[in-house]
Structure formats: structure tokens, C-alpha cells
Chains A and B, each alone.
Chain A
Amino acid sequence: MTNPGPTRALFLAALAVALPLLLPAAWRSHLALVLTLAIGTTGQNLLIGHAGIVSLGQAGFLAVGAYTLAHLAGAGVPPILATLGGALAAGLTGALLGLAVRRLTGAALALATLAFATAVHRLAVGSDALGGGPGGLAVPVLPSLGGVDRDLTECWLLMPIVAGSVLFARRVVGSPLGRALAAARECEPAARASGVDLASARVFAFTLSSVASGLEGALEARRLGHIDPAHFTLEASLALLVAVIVGGRAPVLGPLLGAAFVVAVPALAGTAHFLVPAIFGLALATSLLASPEGLAGLVARRRRPAGAES
């Protein structure tokens, strides 16, 4: 798992290209949504899964990414640059917020980030110049290539981005910084005592996760062709939280399974709207209490011989 050989990488790539073709056409937009969400979940996984920082502010970064994309695209910036601009703006916001909250812990941090996201939402809805009011903004979508189904091209476009984010996140987790974050999560005094610069490690984790959220927000806005401020409420931050907790900490499988779960639940619930919070709530509680490593942990447990190190 840690070092896929060339054959295996090729096989995975072929599978990735074939997967959207094999799916029924109606499922492709769900797959595209899963892939988009997996990007943000990868970032959140660093923050919540590895650094143990519970942030409820991701909806704010999704919004910064989406609105920046819309304004840049409106000013004639090419789509790729505008998308990157969205991610960059979100990262900058995340760095600033991370700097501001770096000394807060636990619940106070969750509260501060919730206040931040609510403020961004207010600004987006309330300011016509920034957010276009409650109606949102229009975003130019990519033209479909040579008559190929647009959901299909979206999936193919998103796959390398997801792969890149996931591989990058795995790098970060294995780096000295990732280990410092994990050490701080397990025992903060011990990490401090061994010389971990906790504040800057946290700011870094915050920045990376907000870049991922901004990228997700920009990509999703571009996919839908429209920004609806209703997408940036507490529910969006909660969905990312559920994806991370349910998916688990594993860098590759965790975000993908978590994102699939978060997309599948509302799709399967249909008109029984109460099922979504019911399942999300139960999933949060049971994953935390019963299987701290999430769905990916369950998969890994089955694959490994009993008693092997994780």
C-alpha cells in the first residue's frame, strides 16, 4: 500500500479511467460529486484525523474558493487559473484564521471556526458586490469535449486532481511535520517537551486543509455552473466532518470512502429528509465510540492478518 509498484499504479489508473464508463450514466454525476468531496475531505483528514483539530469552518473556505473562482472567471481569467486562484484565496484565508486561532484548543477552536464560517456565509448572502445576494452567482462551466458526456469528462478531469491531493497528503503525513501533528494529537505536553513547534505546525495544517476546501469549492461551483450560498452553511462543514470521521484516518481510502458515504446517504434517503441527519448522527457517534479508524480501518483490519501492526 505504501509503495505501489508501476504495474499496480498502471492498473489503478486504467481502473480509474474505466470506472466512469462502466457506471450507469445516472451515477456519473454522483461519482463526480464523490471525487470533488474527496479533495476537501483529504484536507480535513489532515486537520481532524491527524492533527486532531476539530474545525467547523470548512464551509467558509468552500465559499471563499467558489466566490473567488466566480469573480476571477467573471473578469476573464482562464478557468484553470481561476480555479487555482480560488484554492489560493482559501489557503490565504485559512493561514490568517489559523494564525489567529493557533492558541485555542478543542471546543473553543470549533466555536471560533463556526463563527468564522457563519460570518462568511452572512457576507456572501448579505453583500451584493461580494456574493450576489441570496440568489448566488453564475459560473461558466467547461464546454463538453467533442460531444462526450459532460459528467464523464468531469470524472476524468477530477481523478488526477484527487490522486494528486491524496498523494500529497500522504507525503505530509509521513513528513516530520505530519509526525509532529500526530504526536501533538496523542500527547500535547510530550510533543511540546520534545521540541515540536505546535503553533506553526497547526497553522500549516490549517492552511493545507483550507487550500483543499477552497479547491473543492471552486471545482464544485464550476461543475454546477452556479453558486448557491445555501451550500455554505453549517451542514457543509458537518458533511466534511462526517466524511472524515466515518472514512477514517487512512490517507487514501479514508477520504474516498468517507466522501462516498456522505454522497450516498442523501441520494439513498430520497424524500425522507430526516434520514440524513439521523444516519450522520449515528455514524458520527458509532465511528467515534466503536471504530476510531473509520471505514478504512475496517477494510484494513480485514486485509491484514490478525495482530499485525497498523
Chain B
Amino acid sequence: MEAVIPYALAGLEAGSLYALVAAGLVLVYRGTGVFNFAHGELATLGAYATATLTAQGVPLLAALVAGMALAGAVAASFHLAVLDPASRRGAGAGTTVILTLALAQLLHALVLLAFGPAPRPLSLGLPDGALPRIADVPIDATAILALAAGLVLTFGLDAAIARTRSGLALRAVAEDRLAAESLGLPGRALPALAWGLSAALAALAGTLLGSRLLLEPGFMLEPFLKGFAAAVLGGLTSLRGAILGGLALGLIEGVVGATLGIQARTATALVILLGLLLLRPVGLFGREKLERF
């Protein structure tokens, strides 16, 4: 049993990053009903932008905010310029999936063109290794930052959506855009805001992940799939569900890795994702009747 604890802790660390990815996916899905297949590439773009700025001597926080703003601006413009007009002309779920895939390809091309295919390190200068150890496991400052940022941002967003007037308006637009717009609510701007915030979360997750791995043009595919698994696990209905789903996925992966080996660990997220989609598409914490927000 004791042998499992370090793996479980390491799993929770990874899970806190999956949770950030999942929260962004849920935000867009709940706000506009779209599965964003470009989420990983938006994260990659933000991470590269942050890395480039920090390498130029810009302070980390400023670089991070700039990277998040860049990814957010790209995502919001994509929604305003492409997705929103397409959905107003009656584009179905299949078409929106392909449009987000097209965005993913274009962002991939942009990253290749601007930064090249060679892997590069991204140092956040965090005091990894300087923190006290728990159960003889070195505690990772990146993971703590991810967990803290994930919890603060998602609970903050969750509260904003539940309590503020803009949040209420966003829920109204997500529920029935036509009715909301006829009441004078901005049916284009609010979903665009959801896209922007989602991509900013993606950029944060990408930067944190990039600092633990190496930055590579396609490095977010794996975390993106795991984030999707976490989001489905959380039921796709709430941001809090996404956080729980991410942590649960990390924990399960850690325990599976400890007991069944590394091969089984890499397959865990895929098995969970496929199994849930087939058996219980509303997830573990999801409500049977899907509601947005």
C-alpha cells in the first residue's frame, strides 16, 4: 500500500494539469456546445509565446499574461469570424468539429513557421526541488501552481457564471441564443468571451506543461486527450466537475501505473474516455439531462 502513495501523489500532480485543460474544454462546450479540437494547439501557441517572451527577459508573470491574452484573442476571433457565422447558417456538430480541426492545423503551421520543429526547454524558474517532501516524494512547485491556479480560476469562473449578471446572460445565451438575443443580450460577444477565457486557461496549462516536458509543436496532443477524458469524467456539465475529473484521472493513472505498470498507465485515459463515451456519456458527476452551466 505504501508503495502506491508516491505514485498517487505524482498522479495528482499530473491531474492538476489535466484539470486545467479540462476546465477550458468544458467552458467552451457549455458556452457554445462545441468540442474544441484546437484546444491543444491554442495551448501550444500560448506556451511558445510565453517561452519566447521570458527568453527575451520579460518577467514571467507578464509573459504568461501575454501568452494567455494571445491565445484568448485568437480563440475569440475564431469564434466571431468563423464559428458563429457558420452556426448561424445551420452548421451541424460535424461541421464545427472539422472547423476546429482546421484551426488546429493552421495554428500548428503557425507554430512550425514561427518557432521551428526543434524541441526547446521552457524554464519558469520555479523552486522545484526546494519544497519539503511528502511521503518521501519531492513536491513539484509547478504542480502546486497548476493546482492553485486551476482551483482559483475555475471556482472564480464558476462563481462568476453563477452569480454575476454577465454570467446569467452567458447562461441565457447558451440555453437559447435566439430568445436571449431578442431580449437584447449580446449573443456573439458572450460566447466569444467564453472562447477567449477557455484559450487563456489552455495557454496557462500549456505553459505549465511545457515547463515540465519540452516545448514541441505537437506536444499538447497527449494532454489534450487526457483533458478531454477528464472533462468527460467530470460530466462536461460543470467547471467544478472538470477539476474533479482531472484530479480523479491523475489519481487513477498513478494507481494503475503503480499496480499494473507503465504500459497500462499510458492506456488508462483512453480506456476511461472510450468506456465513458460508450457506457455513460454524461460522465460520473454529470446530470442525466444535460444542461449548460
Contacts and interface: CB of A to CB of B under 8 A. Distances in A.
A278 B109 CA distance: 5
A38 to B, nearest CB: 20
Contacts of B96: 106-107
A284 B102 contact: yes
Main secondary structure of the interface of B (DSSP, over half): helix
Interface in A42-75: 48, 52-54
Given A112-B273, A112-B278, A273-B112, 13 more contacts: A54-B98, A106-B92, A110-B97, A111-B35, A111-B232, A111-B273, A111-B277, A119-B270, A126-B266, A234-B221, A277-B108, A278-B105, A284-B105
Interface in A94-142: 100-101, 104-108, 110-112, 114-116, 118-119, 122, 126
A32 B15 CA distance: 46
Interface string B205-241: 0000000000000000100010011001000000000
Contacts of B182: none
Contacts of A104: 277-278, 281
Given A111-B228, A115-B274, A289-B86, A284 B117 contact: no
Main secondary structure of the interface of A (DSSP, over half): helix
B109 A245 contact: no
Interface string B85-125: 01000001111111101111110111011000100000000
Contacts of A234: 221
17 contacts: A52-B94, A104-B277, A107-B35, A112-B274, A112-B278, A115-B270, A115-B273, A118-B270, A126-B263, A274-B113, A277-B108, A278-B113, A281-B103, A282-B106, A284-B99, A284-B105, A289-B82
Given A104-B281, A280-B105, A122 B270 contact: yes
Contacts of B86: 288-289
B149 interface: no
Nearest to A276: B109
Residue with the highest number of chain B CB atoms closer than 10 Å, among A241, A277, A282, A284: A277
B277 A281 contact: no
B18 interface: no
B41 to A, nearest CB: 9
A249 to B, nearest CB: 13
A12 interface: no
A19 interface: no
Contacts, number: 113
Contact of A105 (B93, B106, B110, B232): B93
B92 A52 contact: yes
Contacts of B48: none
A118 to B, nearest CB: 6
A300 interface: no
B112 to A, nearest CB: 4
A288 B82 CA distance: 11
A238 interface: yes
A21 interface: no
A25 interface: no
Closest 6 CB pairs of A and B: A106-B93, A281-B105, A278-B109, A107-B35, A274-B112, A281-B106
A87 to B, nearest CB: 24
Interface string A219-244: 00000000000000010001001000
A100 B113 CA distance: 40
Contacts of A107: 34-35, 93, 96-97
A282 B104 CA distance: 11
A167 interface: no
A9 interface: no
